[in-house]
């Protein structure tokens, strides 16, 4: 059974994910995109300009379309790299070969009924946007990007996302679902 088949049948466990960090070290920074904070400031400045020029509704529609396109392309690029190594498009491989360093996020992981739940408190993206007073505009990226990235990588991975911007909490909650039994009745799709 390969990783993808295992995830769909059993979901996640600490035993199963134990080799992500060592394998990520072996993969190195080859799949990382540096300058996450700078990218956040550029994105938020663009989103602000779009919303001011086009109005909130049209501006957000343009930003949403651009972010979703960008996200799907990122996901496809990661999928191409993983498939090029002859590996399945499992969530575990997404963690290992993702194009951005997990150092950009301070998170607490948990396994809940076979789902991986990440509580992200420290996010360099939103912090950088807030440094320029553009946190609300940076939040538009958060609203649309992660679902699109997974759609481009492997649309069978379900993400339930509760952002700090929507809930008012000091963290975002990412629930990644691969276990088939957990997917039923789950609507994790982004807007």
Q: Is residue 23 part of a domain?
A: no
Which string of b and e fits 20-39 if b means at least 16 CB within 10 Å? beeebeeeeeebeeeebbeb
Indicate whether 24 belongs to any domain.
no
- Domain residues for the domain of 135 are 3-17+34-183
Residue 191 lies in a domain: no
Q: What pLDDT is recorded for position 8?
A: 96
Domain count along the chain: 1
Confidence of residue 156 (pLDDT cuts 50, 70, 90): very high
Which residue, among 161, 140, 142, has the nearest Cα to 104 in the 3D structure?
Answer: 142
Query: Which letter does DSSP use for residue 90 in this model?
Result: -
Residue 70 is assigned to a structural domain of this protein:
yes
CA dist., res. 106 & res. 100, Å (int)? 13
User: H or E segment at 112?
Assistant: strand 105-112
For the chain, the C-alpha Rg in angstroms (whole number) is: 17
- pLDDT value at position 103? 83
Mean per-residue pLDDT, 169-180: 95
pLDDT at 72: 99
- Asked whether the predicted pLDDT for residue 34 surpasses 80, the reply is no
Is 27 within the bounds of a domain? no
63 versus 190: which is more confidently predicted?
63
Looking at residue 92, which CATH number applies to its domain?
A: 3.30.1380
In a domain, 26, yes or no: no
> Does 37 have pLDDT greater than 90?
no
Instruction: Over range 54-78, report the average pLDDT.
Output: 98
Q: Long-range contacts for 50-54 (Cβ within 8 Å, ≥24 apart)?
A: 51/137
Domain assignment of residue 25, yes or no: no
pLDDT digit string, tens, across residues 128-142: 999 999 999 999 999
In this prediction, residue 188 carries a pLDDT of 57
**Residue 147 covered by a domain:** yes
Contact 178, 12 (CB under 8 A): yes
């Amino acid at each position: 059974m390969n990783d993808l088949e295992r995830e769909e049948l059993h979901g996640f466990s600490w035993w199963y994910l134990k080799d992500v960090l060592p394998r990520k070290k072996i993969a190195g920074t080859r799949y990382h995109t540096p300058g996450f904070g700078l990218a956040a400031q550029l994105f938020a400045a663009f989103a602000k300009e779009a919303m001011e020029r086009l109005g909130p509704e049209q501006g957000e529609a343009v930003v949403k379309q651009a972010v979703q396109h960008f996200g799907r392309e990122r996901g496809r690029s990661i999928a191409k790299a993983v498939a090029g190594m002859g590996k399945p498009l499992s969530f575990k491989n997404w963690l290992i070969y993702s194009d951005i360093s997990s150092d950009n996020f301070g998170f607490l992981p948990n396994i809940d009924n076979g789902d991986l739940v990440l509580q992200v408190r420290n996010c360099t993206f939103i912090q950088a946007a807030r440094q320029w007073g553009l946190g609300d505009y940076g939040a538009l990226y958060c609203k649309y990007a992660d679902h699109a990235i997974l759609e481009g990588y492997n649309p069978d991975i379900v993400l339930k996302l509760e952002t700090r911007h929507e809930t008012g909490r000091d963290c975002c909650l990412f629930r990644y679902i691969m276990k088939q039994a957990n997917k039923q009745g789950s609507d994790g799709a982004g807007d």
